[in-house]
Structure 1
Amino acid sequence: MSVKILLDQSGKYTNLDVIKGRVILRLFQPSKISYVIVKLEGEARTRLQGVNPDSNRPENFLEIHKLLYKMQRVFPPPNVQVNPREKMSFQLAPGSYEYPFEFKIPFNNSCLANIQAHGPSTPFNMAGFNIEVSKSAPHHVKTTLPPTMHQSQEAGIRYFVKATVNVPSLFKENPRAITYFSFDPIEPPRPKSDGEAYARRQHQFNDNPEQPKRKFSLKLGAAPTPPPVTNAQLARFSIDVRMPNPSVLTCGKDIPLRVLIKQQSPRSGPLYLKTFQIELVGHTNWVLNSASNLHYTIGIETDAEGAETELTRELWAGHTLPDAVCPSFVTCNIERYYELVVSVGLSYGSTIPGQDQFVVLPLRHRVEVFSGIRPPDELLKRVAEQRVRPQPPTQAATAPPGGLPAYSAGPSNLPPGSGQHPEDPYLDAPPSYEDAMAENIRPLDGPRPGYNPQPAHGGAQGGLFDEKS
């Protein structure tokens, strides 16, 4: 007996998409089967190392949040009347069988606390093996499904379709198949810009850096005392990094940035831009642009106090945000946020090394990274209507009792033994779309720029994801 999953469309999926495929079951001899189920799942895992206070030994603490869980029974078909409380089996002849399935990807996560266990994983020892068991955490947030992420060994998010063939025997393993896919969420509604946000740094150069003449001293090796520097001998400048407010970067798009250098006092020497670098700092650093030995003249010596010089956008034009950058998100156990760091290197008086006054000034600016997948106009219209007429939240449906799963291609069914703890409400999170708004909205049509992670595979993160989990 073998089973595999074939998706009708490979590649990247987003909210509102309908993921379709087939479960192909091959039997090499007559076999009894109870049922075949297909699950659409998404999970966020974190593994951090701590020290057990009892044994004083390092241990891994695993936390798993089931962000997405939908289940569909494809065999027996829904037109076959079965009693979910009875264990039934069907005799199938040798051959190949195909069972189609489809799921619609919602907007929000469906992560619920486990009623019976909370907190991080608790390792225990069995037959000399250190087995790691995950327990559900007590805190959860309700927010938009986060993107696929597998850039570290401490945290990761993956999405997959899993098929399980249940055989009515305690001595036979249930055959399973799993296939992974990349998920990139629809970005939230873009707020209207209400001006510019900025980061500012100030610096002053010595406007008369002549070296004093060495005078005779009775003390051997004594350094000459330089004359005091007055305010009249200081050339003062400020640097502004300005972006639209709110500051949003889009995967695969140019950076909406302005860099201005303002003269704040008279000066007698030239000012040059020697280096320029832009970094996007998250959990890792993404160098977007770096340039040196520019010798770019900024203004002239006779500029009045308060004169501003805007750096040419050719310094960063065409250096788009890499599409491998994960969009910003917040979920139960992982948060991804970014700062844009613009480092400006200024040289005063000369461009010759050793004869100039050179300084590098970093400016940090908090930004949001969007996926670049714009929401449909119809959805934005419903969001605006929802703000006028708020509706009470709906209660998620629980799975029916019994050993046979119910047929469902619609709302999420919870995993067995899971549910929302009455004392653990969802914590505050950024606003997201409600799934009820998009119930009848068709999937997005057309090109989908933006985040393009590499396909995730089990074990790709040093054991963070286990195929058997």
Structure 2
Amino acid sequence: MGSGTVDIVIQLNNTDGYKYKPLDVIRGRVNLKVHKEISVKEVTVKFAGISRSEFQVNERRRTANGNTQNRKVTKTEFHTVAYDEGIIFPPPNVRNVSNSKEFTLTPGEYVYDFAFKIPLRNVCYLTNTGGRGVTHGDTRLPPSMGITGIGNINYQVRVTVKRASWFKSNPQEHKNPMVTSFDPIDDIISHTHPFFLRNSIVFSDKIHKRIALTEKPTGPESYEIPIKESARKKSSHFIKSLFGNKGPPPKFAQEYDVPFVFEVRCSTPFLRIGRVPQLKIFLTSKHGPERYRGIDNQTSGLGQFILEDFGIYLIGTYSVIAEGRSVQEQRIYRLNHKRDLSMELDLANLEPNPLHGTTADSNPFQLELPFSLYGDAVVLDVVKPTFDTCNIKVDYKLNIWAKFLEEKKSWGSKKLEFLTPVTVLTGVPAPQEYIQMMQIPPQLAQQVLETYPPEAFRQPDDFTPLYDDTTAAPISLNVEEPEPAKQNEKQNLTEQYSPAQHPEPAKQNEKQKLAEHYSQAQNAEEILPTYGSATKEQ
């Protein structure tokens, strides 16, 4: 698109819906089709990411007649989380020798390559007045997102033809690449540790439903187990006593309490989008299975009860700031919810707990619940990963609950519930460049990377750069052009983006081996041309 004088077409290398991530290179090509001769100052290309918060609040405002009334007011605030720009016309060789502030593009087609390196961390400027202000935060670059009533984070590549005349509009065109975040492998290594969620429950006054005998019973009454009558039926004994019924008081079976612990074992506080949470669910008991079996080693029914309902939810809390006001909005995502399960559980099936004695408050016996109960609790794509900017922040808690019944026809139920903080990740593995920057030991990096499926290492398609040093060159923003005789482009990138000192030769060899191990899965050694070209098609 463009104007009647010039048409602008932008082509990016994000084919097939690829989402860029920090440290990726966005390569692109600009095609200018000039219909009539045009005088320009320059042609620029910009890459920007804007975090926009927006919500409504009630405010009391004074009306024209002096009264006050409540009105809904929209609060909006913009923060720049990424920004870079450069000039693609006139080319560097012209700018270096010319002091002219006006250049002419004659009719024809012009092609310019460009490249941006997506930053690792955000540079958050308050931009509600349209200018670049003071840095507000230093956090990881947030992903593209948009939620009604909260705001959005958008990234944009914009090409502008700046005309020489102030009285003529500047033709523009833009593309909105999708940006995601990768999983911080250093945090995963540092903070991955198993933890346990436990809550106890007791079914009181239960009796054996089945009694195993060592000898054959001699009469039909030998099979009967006296069952204690409910409170509603106690009045009949009182009525019978008024009429002289002096029969012996009923004998009841011995009653027991059946305690157990509902236990969720989580291997990590990180959840990945598109994956099931890494957890297992158990019932644990301080009593062994023999308590709930007869002398024939079969269940006595004492430890039987019903799992009726079960659910796993993810609760996201968005903290949003705009124009000095702040609000919190919750979004609840259902990962799994199963009603009317009628799943029969029996503590007679308890087994020894291998973790007994290794963790605090662990019971010696356990019964694992089937994976089918929660195996479909996938973190959906609509969930945004955990992120933090100056005006939008999201935190998550994992909510797991279960409802038990003593009997299938019981009216009363006992419900247990957990709520624990978690971090939601995109499921995109950290690139080799980041692993080297953080100086992650290859063995640890390999253990983490092996947990990702092969398709997670996909890279965007690339262009073949255009080279013509006599006309123009694409820009690689944030990367200084090196002198070819002094150093190659890869070394320049490493110096530009690495916060750490160069590793020792032995460490370099280890990292090289790790890179080779994953070379089929991802292009870890991508070389970014810091200078290309633009050509005019004849």
Task: Please report the TM-score for the alignment, with normalisation by the length of structure 2.
Answer: 0.61
Q: Is 1:289 the counterpart of 2:287 in the alignment?
A: no
* Counterparts in 2 of 1:151 and 1:54: CA distance versus 1, 3 Å: closer
Indicate the residue corresponding to 1:278 in structure 2: 312
Query: 1:26 is paired with a residue of what secondary structure?
Result: strand
Q: Is 1:58 the counterpart of 2:65 in the alignment?
A: no
For 1:100, give the aligned amino acid.
D
Indicate the residue corresponding to 1:94 in structure 2: 107
Q: CA deviation at 1:16?
A: 2.0
Query: 1:80 is paired with a residue of what secondary structure?
Result: helix
The match for 2:497 among 435, 453, 457 is 435
Indicate the residue corresponding to 1:31 in structure 2: 38
Give me the whole-angstrom Cα distance separating, in 2, the residues matched to 1:259 and 1:106: 40
Query: 1:183 is paired with a residue of what secondary structure?
Result: coil
Indicate the residue corresponding to 1:334 in structure 2: 392
Q: Is 1:45 the counterpart of 2:41 in the alignment?
A: no
Indicate the residue corresponding to 2:380 in structure 1: 322
Q: Deviations along 1:48-97, whole A, 9 cap, x unmatched?
A: 2235565464322211111110102111111112699x772222222322
Indicate the residue corresponding to 2:450 in structure 1: none
Q: Deviations along 1:105-159, whole A, 9 cap, x unmatched?
A: 1211122357xxxxxx6xxxxxxxxxxx678887722111111111333221111
Give me the whole-angstrom Cα distance separating, in 2, the residues matched to 1:75 and 1:16: 26
Mean alpha-carbon deviation: is it higher for 199-208 or for 95-104?
Answer: 199-208
The match for 2:418 among 363, 367, 375 is 363
Query: 1:191 is paired with a residue of what secondary structure?
Result: helix
For 1:277, give the aligned amino acid.
G
Give me the whole-angstrom Cα distance separating, in 2, the residues matched to 1:167 and 1:291: 63
Give me the whole-angstrom Cα distance separating, in 1, the residues matched to 2:130 and 2:285: 59
Q: CA deviation at 1:253?
A: 2.4
Indicate the residue corresponding to 1:105 in structure 2: 118
Query: 2:235 is paired with a residue of what secondary structure?
Result: coil
Give me the whole-angstrom Cα distance separating, in 2, the residues matched to 1:52 and 1:280: 32
Q: CA deviation at 1:280?
A: 1.7
Please tell me whether the aligned partners of residues 63 and 136 of structure 1 are also in contact (alpha carbons under 8 angstroms): no
For 2:273, give the aligned amino acid.
C
Q: Deviations along 1:204-262, whole A, 9 cap, x unmatched?
A: 33435842125399xxxxxxxxxxxxxx7643332122212x41111222321121223
Q: Is 1:80 the counterpart of 2:103 in the alignment?
A: no
- How many correspondences in the alignment? 373
Give me the whole-angstrom Cα distance separating, in 2, the residues matched to 1:91 and 1:138: 37
Q: Is 1:299 the counterpart of 2:321 in the alignment?
A: no
* Counterparts in 2 of 1:159 and 1:446: CA distance versus 1, 3 Å: farther
Q: Is 1:351 the counterpart of 2:408 in the alignment?
A: yes
Give me the whole-angstrom Cα distance separating, in 2, the residues matched to 1:43 and 1:152: 16
For 2:83, give the aligned amino acid.
Y
* Counterparts in 2 of 1:438 and 1:323: CA distance versus 1, 3 Å: farther
For 1:73, give the aligned amino acid.
I
Indicate the residue corresponding to 1:9 in structure 2: 14
* Counterparts in 2 of 1:194 and 1:108: CA distance versus 1, 3 Å: closer
Indicate the residue corresponding to 1:308 in structure 2: 366
Question: Tell me, which stretches of 5 or more residues in structure 2 are unaligned?
Answer: 1-5, 63-67, 207-227, 239-254, 293-301, 317-329, 352-362, 442-473, 481-495, 503-511, 523-538
Give me the whole-angstrom Cα distance separating, in 1, the residues matched to 2:130 and 2:73: 13
Give me the whole-angstrom Cα distance separating, in 2, the residues matched to 1:274 and 1:329: 36
Q: Which has the higher helix share?
A: 2
Please tell me whether the aligned partners of residues 69 and 412 of structure 1 are also in contact (alpha carbons under 8 angstroms): no
Please tell me whether the aligned partners of residues 108 and 435 of structure 1 are also in contact (alpha carbons under 8 angstroms): no
Q: CA deviation at 1:40?
A: 0.8
Indicate the residue corresponding to 2:196 in structure 1: 198
Q: Deviations along 1:28-51, whole A, 9 cap, x unmatched?
A: 222111111001111111012235
For 1:251, give the aligned amino acid.
I
Query: 2:498 is paired with a residue of what secondary structure?
Result: coil
* Counterparts in 2 of 1:446 and 1:186: CA distance versus 1, 3 Å: farther
Give me the whole-angstrom Cα distance separating, in 1, the residues matched to 2:477 and 2:12: 19
For 1:316, give the aligned amino acid.
Y
Q: CA deviation at 1:447?
A: 5.9
Question: Tell me, which stretches of 5 or more residues in structure 1 are unaligned?
Answer: 115-120, 122-132, 218-231, 387-406, 414-433, 449-469
The match for 1:409 among 454, 466, 476 is 476
Please tell me whether the aligned partners of residues 66 and 111 of structure 1 are also in contact (alpha carbons under 8 angstroms): yes
Task: Please report the TM-score for the alignment, with normalisation by the length of structure 1.
Answer: 0.69
Q: Which has the larger radius of gyration?
A: 2
Percent identity among equivalent residues? 27
Please tell me whether the aligned partners of residues 113 and 475 of structure 2 are also in contact (alpha carbons under 8 angstroms): no
Please tell me whether the aligned partners of residues 438 and 500 of structure 2 are also in contact (alpha carbons under 8 angstroms): no
For 1:365, give the aligned amino acid.
T
Give me the whole-angstrom Cα distance separating, in 1, the residues matched to 2:387 and 2:501: 23
Give me the whole-angstrom Cα distance separating, in 2, the residues matched to 1:382 and 1:200: 39
More RCO (CA 8 Å, sep 6+): 1
For 2:498, give the aligned amino acid.
A
